[in-house]
Structure 1
């Protein structure tokens, strides 16, 4: 398995196509949630992904402060269905937090999490900062990781 972090301009056409395809497969098709997946934030983001034999198996988007929120953020977090349950999600999120902390010197990270994953994100130190609300008919919660809790597993 090979891990990559690239800004938008470093992605090859094929990498970008594959990342968008996998995001659409999970967030639009699998979750039966029609929405504009390509939201204009990719060009200002970093893209962290794992690939094995040319197949993207895990992905998340790293958003600097000011792109989605005043704080830095992680989003579009996914592990391809066939690869779930193997610890990739934990490694993916840890790598995303690490990148924000060590490469971008960020001390606060905000996420918009699906509520059923609240405990998963709490295991990294994220704390709920909102009540549960519906986003695209899926229960979500806003969560924040900051300061001394910004240590990866």
Structure 2
């Protein structure tokens, strides 16, 4: 029984450490890195939803899809600056809207193909976003 308690304490401690790591990572991240984290979170939520869908766990599937929707709608789409971003921002807004509709359809109809398409689209945009990050270098100090 002591081993079980120790294992549980370790799990709680590791979880707390992970949360602190994520929080400090977010606090020290650049705006570009924050967007990458949003993509990562949305894709992770979609993968979790797929696992729960395959397991027949409707409630957990719905929670995971809701989290992905929240990231797409209130993170990625909300971060767009249509005024300064022009046509690119408008196209991304349309794409995020389409992804949100795919996620809603996946939840409503247990449609794994919609989850796959949503994840694939997010991964493509994320890859392009990461590429932008590797091609930009900080300005040299004066």
The normalised TM-score by structure 1 is 0.27
Identify which of structures 1 and 2 has the higher relative contact order when contacts are C-alpha pairs closer than 8 Å and 6+ apart. 2
From the CA coordinates, give the structure whose radius of gyration is larger: 2
Write 1 or 2 for the structure with the bigger share of helix: 2
Write 1 or 2 for the structure with the bigger share of strand: 1
